[in-house]
Amino acid sequence: MLALSRKINESIMLGNDIEITILDIKGDQVKVGIGAPRTVPIYRKEIYKQIQESNKEAMQSEASVDDLKKLL
For residues 57 and 63, the answer to whether their CB atoms sit within 8 Å is no
Query: pTM of whole model > 0.95?
Result: no
The mean pLDDT value for 42-66 works out to: 84
Asked if the model's pLDDT at residue 63 lies above 80, the reply is no
Q: How many CA atoms lie within 13 A of 67 on its CB side?
A: 6
Give the tens place of pLDDT for each residue, 24-53: 999 999 999 999 999 999 999 999 999 999
- Spell out the domain ranges in the chain: 1-40, 42-72
DSSP state letters, the chain: -------TT-EEEETTTEEEEEEEEETTEEEEEEE--TTS----HHHHHHHHHHHHHHHHHHHHHHHHHHH-
